[in-house]
C-alpha cells in the first residue's frame, strides 16, 4: 500500500550527523545507481561508433569536449569509489574487517585508493 | 497437510515469506562484482591509454579481437550487476506492491536492452575493422 499517513515524521537527517561508515554506505548505493547513466552513455557511444564515422561525430564531441571530459571524470571517480568499496564489501562477505575500527580504516583506505586510481587514470589519459 | 512445512494453513494461503531466490541474487551479485574487478581496471586504463578519441583510434581499439571479447564480457557483467543492484534499490524505496513489481520488470528489461545494444555494437565495429 502507498504511504497515506499525513502526520509529520520525526526528523533525523537534518539533526544527526551520520557516521563516516554510514556515509560511505550511502555513497556506495548512490554511485551504483548513478553509474547506470554512465553505462547508458557508453552504450550510446558504442552504438554511434558502430554506425560509422558520421554517426560517431556526436560521440567524439562528447568524448573530447571540456563538458564531456568533466562528465567522464565524474564517471571514473564514481566508478573507482564503487569499485574499491565493492571490494570492501566482498571482504566483509568472507568475514574480514567487520569490527568498527577496521571498518573505519578500510573505509579511509577506500577513499584514498579510489582517488589515487582516478588521478592515475586521468594522468594516463591526458 | 504437508508435514515438511511447519506453517499454518493461513500462512500458506497468504504466500508471504522468503524471497525464494534471494540467495541466488546475493551470489550472482558477488559473482558479477568479482568479474568486474579485472574488467573495470582493463576498461578504464584501456580507454585512458588511447592516443585520441578519433573514430579510427576508437574503433581500432574496440575492434581488436581481445578488446571486443573483453568489452562484451564487461557489458554483460555490468548490466547484470546493475539490474540486480537497481532491483534492491527499488525494493527498498517503492512501497506500493504493483508499482514496485512493474518497476523491477522495467529495470530488468532496460538493462537487457542496453546490454544487447552494446554487444551488438561491439560486434558490428569488430566485423567492420576486420573487413
* pLDDT one-digit tens code per residue, A87-122: 999 999 999 999 999 999 999 999 999 999 999 998
**What cell does B56 get?**
579510427
pLDDT score recorded for residue B15: 74
Cα separation, B106 vs B84, in Å, equals: 12
With an 8 Å Cβ cutoff, is B40 touching chain A?
Answer: yes
CA-nearest residue to B32 within chain A is: A86
pLDDT score recorded for residue A120: 93
pTM above 0.90, yes or no: no
**What cell does A20 get?**
563516516
Please indicate whether, in this complex, the C-beta atoms of B95 and A125 are within 8 angstroms of each other.
Answer: no
Tell me the mean pLDDT in the region B51-55. Answer: 88
Lowest mean pLDDT among A5-14, A99-108, B32-41, B53-62: A5-14
Cα separation, B101 vs A28, in Å, equals: 24
Angle between helices A20-51 and A100-125 in degrees, nearest 10: 30
A 37-76 residues with CB < 8 A to B: 39-40, 42-43, 46-47, 49-50, 53, 56, 60, 63-64, 76
Contact A81, A73 (CB under 8 A): no
Question: Which pLDDT tens digits describe chain A residue by residue (126 residues)?
Answer: 557 788 888 888 888 999 999 999 999 999 999 999 999 999 999 999 999 888 899 888 888 889 988 999 999 999 999 999 999 999 999 999 999 999 999 999 999 999 999 999 989 888
Tell me the mean pLDDT in the region B50-79. Answer: 94
- B contacts of A50 (beta carbons < 8 Å): 120-122, 124-125, 128
Contact A88, A102 (CB under 8 A): no
Contact A24, A100 (CB under 8 A): no
pLDDT score recorded for residue B131: 62
CA-nearest residue to B62 within chain A is: A46
Which residue pairs from A53-59 have beta carbons closer than 8 angstroms and sit at least 24 positions apart in sequence?
A53/B55, A56/B55, A56/B58, A56/B59
Please indicate whether, in this complex, the C-beta atoms of B49 and A124 are within 8 angstroms of each other.
Answer: yes
Amino acid at each position: 500500500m502507498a504511504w497515506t499517513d499525513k502526520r509529520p515524521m520525526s526528523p533525523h537527517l537534518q539533526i544527526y550527523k551520520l557516521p563516516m561508515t554510514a556515509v560511505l554506505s550511502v555513497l556506495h548505493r548512490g554511485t551504483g545507481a548513478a553509474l547506470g547513466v554512465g553505462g547508458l552513455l557508453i552504450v550510446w557511444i558504442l552504438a554511434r561508433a558502430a554506425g560509422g564515422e558520421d554517426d560517431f561525430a556526436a560521440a567524439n564531441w562528447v568524448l573530447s569536449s571540456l563538458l564531456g571530459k568533466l562528465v567522464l571524470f565524474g564517471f571514473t571517480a564514481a566508478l573507482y569509489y564503487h569499485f574499491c568499496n565493492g571490494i570492501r564489501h566482498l571482504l566483509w562477505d568472507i568475514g574480514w574487517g567487520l569490527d568498527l575500527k577496521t571498518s573505519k580504516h578500510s573505509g579511509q583506505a577506500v577513499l584514498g585508493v579510489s582517488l589515487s586510481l582516478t588521478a592515475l587514470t586521468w594522468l594516463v589519459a591526458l | 497437510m504437508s508435514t515438511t512445512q511447519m506453517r499454518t494453513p493461513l500462512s500458506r494461503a497468504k504466500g508471504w515469506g522468503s524471497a525464494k531466490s534471494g540467495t541466488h541474487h546475493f551470489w550472482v551479485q558477488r559473482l558479477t562484482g568479482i568479474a568486474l574487478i579485472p574488467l573495470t581496471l582493463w576498461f578504464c586504463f584501456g580507454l585512458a591509454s588511447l592516443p585520441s578519441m578519433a573514430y579510427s583510434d576508437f574503433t581500432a581499439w574496440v575492434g581488436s579481437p581481445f578488446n571486443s571479447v573483453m568489452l562484451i564480457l564487461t557489458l554483460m557483467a555490468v548490466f547484470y550487476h546493475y539490474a540486480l543492484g537497481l532491483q534492491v534499490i527499488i525494493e527498498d524505496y517503492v512501497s506500493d506492491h504493483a508499482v514496485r513489481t512493474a518497476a523491477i520488470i522495467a529495470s530488468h528489461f532496460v538493462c537487457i536492452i542496453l546490454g544487447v545494444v552494446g554487444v551488438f555494437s561491439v560486434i558490428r565495429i569488430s566485423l567492420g575493422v576486420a573487413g
